[in-house]
Structure 1
Amino acid sequence: MKFVIPIGILLALGLLIYNLTLLDFSNPLQGDSSIALIGIIACACAILLLLILRTSRKIAEKHGK
């Protein structure tokens, strides 16, 4: 259970990098580029939520002791 959060962060980071390669910077809202943009935003949200979860678990460990 200890390795779930870092693995999730690494997977989301990998998907974020992959979606960045699919993004057309000249037309970010046209065609497949819009799907890549949605994927980038979703991966960034997932990373942020996992970091918040990790921080809250650290706080809970300190508060429990």
Structure 2
Amino acid sequence: MKIIIYILMVLAAASIIFNATKLDFSNIFKGDSQIAVISILASLCVFILLAILQVSLKIKDKHEKR
């Protein structure tokens, strides 16, 4: 499970980087740039959720060891 989480986090980070290259700062909310902004926000949400999952699994492991 730990490896899958890390792989998904790397994919989310790669998606953020890829979509950041698609941004047009003169028209940030039009066309392809709008799709890139939405994709960046979605990837950030995925990254944060995976980080929360990782922390919760560490807490679960520590709690079970007691």
Shorter-chain-normalised TM-score: which range? over 0.9
Kindly indicate which of the two structures has a greater share of residues assigned to helix: 2
Matches within 5 A, 1:28-43: 28-43=28-43
Unaligned runs of 5+ residues in structure 1 are none
C-alpha RMSD of the superposition: 0.6
Q: Give the fraction of aligned pairs with identical amino acids, expressed as a percent.
A: 51
Unaligned runs of 5+ residues in structure 2 are none
Matches within 5 A, 1:1-65: 1-65=1-65
Distance 2:10 2:47 in 1: 9
How many residues are treated as equivalent by the alignment? 65
Please give the TM-score of this superposition, normalised by the length of structure 2. Answer: 0.95
Runs ≥4 residues deviating over 3 A: none
The amino acid that maps onto 2:34 is S
1:25 CA drift (Å): 1.1
